[in-house]
Structure 1
Amino acid sequence: MTIVNNSDVLIPDRTRALHALRVAGWIGLDRFSYEVTPAGAALFKIVDTPRGELAGLTPAGEQAAQVELAAVCRQVDAAGRARILELLGLFEQADGRMKDVVTGFQRDRSAAKAAPLVTLFGEFAGVIDAIAAAFPLWDGYPARLRTAVQRLEGGELDYVASPLLDSFHTVWHLLHRDMRLVTESW
């Protein structure tokens, strides 16, 4: 089956949680909504940090994340894979521009230097939406990027690249890493 709509495939909550941690590395418990049961405790680790508790994967969790992602990826046929690779190519065409804008912003932290991210998103919003529709684990990225853009438009410049927020750069980077993990698991 070709995945053309997220409703075509049901993904267990555990698979989503494992995958999210594999992509992000660590997620604050305030943003990690998966309930770790005693049976799943060997897959997840919780650590106390100065910023609060963080969830991560154990080595067994990393292995489970890979196995469960492979199971999801087996549902994508050749045409679906070709579409995902096409979308990855389009995304990567914009990646250099995004990095240039963020670098320019970091040199001169101003609204004028942040504005090109809003423009870039406007140009590639359709691609981002198509990416979300192409693979069910990517369905949350468009809203996260739109929220970062709205915050930028509201003058909140930390939403350009702060690693402590769902900033534009952070979410863009996670989507890129996510797409790479998926295409490498075929």
Structure 2
Amino acid sequence: MLDSNDLSLHGLTLKQLANAEQLETILEQDTATVSAHLEAAVGAGYAMAARGAYMITPAGREHLDATYPIAFADQRTNPELVATLADFEQGINKQMLALMTSWQTVTVDGTQQPNDHSDADYDAKVVDKLARLHERAESVLAPFVGADPLTKRFVSRLDGALQQVDRGDHDYVSNVRLDSYHTVWYQMHEHLLRMMGEERDE
């Protein structure tokens, strides 16, 4: 597993411009610890700071690329996790991409147009599909949840986003300015790929 310092740096690969409070939400580390680690990363040349936010540098990415194979050796050599990620990539992740396209666009006279969300029935059907997909995601990702605390954290955050959607706040489907379902899913996918040493195929 990643040590505390590298975990904070890893957070910058999941949310590419972030302050300590935002990374605390992702990593479940306290803000003071994350801040200290990020300042140390700046001192080492692994991150850069601007107006209270941080961004990983090329040197930081090289450091993590060299660290991941050691930190995640157990996960990368686990046949069940390797197979689970392959199934995730070809199955439910592609379904999520299609669902988000359905949420963000509608087809009118054979042409895709931005969804202005004026059709409540259409949106309700997409939200219902999201709820069913979430149930499948929990099942598919169970091996990772058991092997990696951060994946468990992501699944919990996905559940929280879906609860907000169920309460009627549809911004939590895909709004990039919130910890929406799509935002958290993207971060989780990036984490899974980095943990397992795979490239994004989108």
- By relative contact order (CA 8 Å, sep 6+), the higher-ranking structure is 1
Residue 93 of structure 2 aligns with which residue? 95
Within the candidate set 143, 152, 176, 1:163 is matched to 176
Partners in 2 of 1:74 and 1:122 — Cα distance? 29
Per-residue displacement from partner, 1:57-98 (whole Å, max 9, x unpaired)?
1222222222222221234473x1x22211112322011221
Percent of aligned positions that are identical: 22
- Give the TM-score taking structure 1 as reference length: 0.79
SS in 1 for 2:36: coil
Counterpart residue identity of residue 87, structure 1: T
Per-residue displacement from partner, 1:18-59 (whole Å, max 9, x unpaired)?
1111233222333133023654323222223xxxx3221122
Residue 6 of structure 1 aligns with which residue? none
Size of the alignment, in residue pairs? 170
Runs of 4+ in 1 over 4 A off after TM superposition: none
Within the candidate set 112, 123, 128, 2:136 is matched to 123
Counterpart residue identity of residue 175, structure 1: M
Pairing 1:1-186 to 2, within 5 Å after superposition: 11-32=2-23, 33=31, 34-36=34-36, 39-41=40-42, 42-48=45-51, 53-76=52-75, 78=77, 80=78, 82-92=79-89, 93-107=91-105, 108=115, 109=117, 110-184=123-197
Is this contact kept in 1: 2:9–2:41, CA < 8 A? no
SS in 1 for 2:96: helix
Partners in 2 of 1:126 and 1:14 — Cα distance? 31
* Pairwise CA RMSD: 2.2
- Give the TM-score taking structure 2 as reference length: 0.73
Aligned pair in 2 of structure 1 residues 15, 139: CA closer, same or farther (>3 Å)?
farther
Is this contact kept in 1: 2:75–2:147, CA < 8 A? no
Partners in 2 of 1:176 and 1:47 — Cα distance? 27
Counterpart residue identity of residue 152, structure 2: D
Measured after TM superposition, the shift of residue 184 of structure 1 is: 2.2
Partners in 2 of 1:77 and 1:39 — Cα distance? 28
Higher mean C-alpha deviation, range 26-35 or range 87-96: 26-35
Per-residue displacement from partner, 1:114-149 (whole Å, max 9, x unpaired)?
221111101221223322223344231111111111
Aligned pair in 2 of structure 1 residues 116, 72: CA closer, same or farther (>3 Å)?
same
Counterpart residue identity of residue 45, structure 1: M
Per-residue displacement from partner, 1:96-119 (whole Å, max 9, x unpaired)?
221121111112433332221111
Is this contact kept in 2: 1:26–1:54, CA < 8 A? yes
Is this contact kept in 1: 2:76–2:82, CA < 8 A? no
